[in-house]
Amino acid sequence: MISLSNLTIRIFADGADLEGMLDMAAKPWIQGFTTNPTLMRKAGVTDYKAFARQVLDAITDRPVSFEVFADDLPTMEAQAREIASWGSNVYVKVPVTNTQGDFTGPILTRLSRAGIKLNVTALMTRAQVRAVADALVPGTPAVISVFAGRIADTGADPVAMMQACVADLASRPELELLWASPRELLNLIQADAIGCHIITMTNDLLGKLPLLGKDHDQYSLETVAMFHRDALAAGYDIPVAATVGTA
């Protein structure tokens, strides 16, 4: 039977709602946290640094990723150094390119050489993973986040590519591959099966974890009961002339 205890992949919580993050922090099987500016804006965060400080005051024992948002490489690097100063458990998220498509490799090298832990984000190709790994200085921990869910959104199966990326990083134990933007609980099982190191999941998706290993016959019955219950609650009625019996 599939269960959390059978999985070797590390599960991170992805979000920027402080209350939700604290709820996840109470769960020992959540081993880290990721955020991004889009999630923060959606959660109503208006003061980036103040929010980060609140999170880091509350979560001190697991890695938390905060992302730079400048678009030129020198300012991205300066923001990364500032964010890194906020806590020893901070991983600084730096996108693989800026909005013009310029590779951030030069600043990745300088930052990792300075001992700053990075989470390089928004990757979608094996070539990008290789280029980022080459840019990162050996010995400094880093996460490489591949948006497997967005790859799947294009109609392409990301599993084989992600498996190849795991192999590409095998000689660099300080580098961890992260399966980002999962769309369904199956992605957790897929990522674990290929040896991916980390998967980050939103609270909505994490809420489905109790379904792991659920009996399908029982789940079918519960689904039928849901449809019946909701139809009654809505007061639906289909007038019929007579009840058809069996002969």
Residues 217-240: pLDDT tens digits?
Answer: 999 999 999 999 999 999 999 999
Task: State which amino acid sits at residue 158.
Answer: P
pLDDT score at 111: 98
CA 158 and chain centroid, separation: 15
Rounded mean pLDDT of 8-28?
A: 96
Work out the percent of the chain whose per-residue pLDDT is above 90.
95
Residue % of the chain over a pLDDT of 70: 98
Structure confidence at residue 221 (pLDDT)? 98
Burial tier of 212 (Cβ tally within 10 Å: 0-12, 13-18, 19+)? middle
Per-residue pLDDT averaged across 55-79, rounded? 98
Each residue's pLDDT tens digit, 151-187: 999 999 999 999 999 999 999 999 999 999 999 999 9
Rounded to 10°, the helix 126-135/159-168 angle is: 20
Q: Is the pLDDT of residue 42 over 70?
A: yes
**Window from 5-9, 36-40, 112-116, 243-247 with minimum mean pLDDT:** 243-247
Q: Could you give the CA distance from residue 224 to residue 217 in angstroms, rounded to a whole number?
A: 11
Among all chains, which residue has been given the structure tokens 């951030």? 104
Lookup: tokens for 147 = 């948006």
CATH number of residue 83's parent domain: 3.20.20.70
Instruction: Count how many domains the chain has.
Output: 1
With respect to residue 228, please indicate whether it lies within any of the assigned structural domains: no
Give Cα separations from 55 to 51, 85, 108, 176, 245 (angstroms): 6, 14, 25, 23, 63
- Of 125, 163, 167, whose CA–CA distance to 147 is shortest? 125
Range of the domain at 158: 4-212
* DSSP sequence for 84-117: HTT-TTEEEEEESB-TT--B-HHHHHHHHHTT--
With respect to residue 238, please indicate whether it lies within any of the assigned structural domains: no
203 inside domain: yes
Verdict on whether the full-model pTM lies above 0.75:
yes
Compute the mean pLDDT over every residue in the chain, rounded to the nearest whole number.
Answer: 96
DSSP the chain: ---GGG--SEEEEE---HHHHHHHHTSTTEEEEE--HHHHHHTT---HHHHHHHHHHH--SS-EEEE---SSHHHHHHHHHHHHTT-TTEEEEEESB-TT--B-HHHHHHHHHTT--EEEEEE-SHHHHHHHHHHSPTTS-EEEEE-HHHHHHTT---HHHHHHHHHHTTT-TTEEEEE-S--STHHHHHHHHTT-SEEEEEHHHHTTGGGTT--HHHHHHHHHHHHHHHHHHHT-----SS-----
Token representation of residue 246? 């069996």
Tracing tokens 């205890």 back to the chain, one arrives at: 5
In a domain, 70, yes or no: yes
pLDDT at residue 246 in the model:
59
In a domain, 201, yes or no: yes
pLDDT of residue 151: 98
| Tokens 């109609």 -> residue | 155
Is the residue at 240 inside a domain?
no
Residue 55, amino acid = V
Q: Which residues pair with 32 in a beta bridge?
A: 12
Q: Is residue 235 part of a domain?
A: no
225 within some domain: no
User: Average pLDDT, stretch 25-43?
Assistant: 96
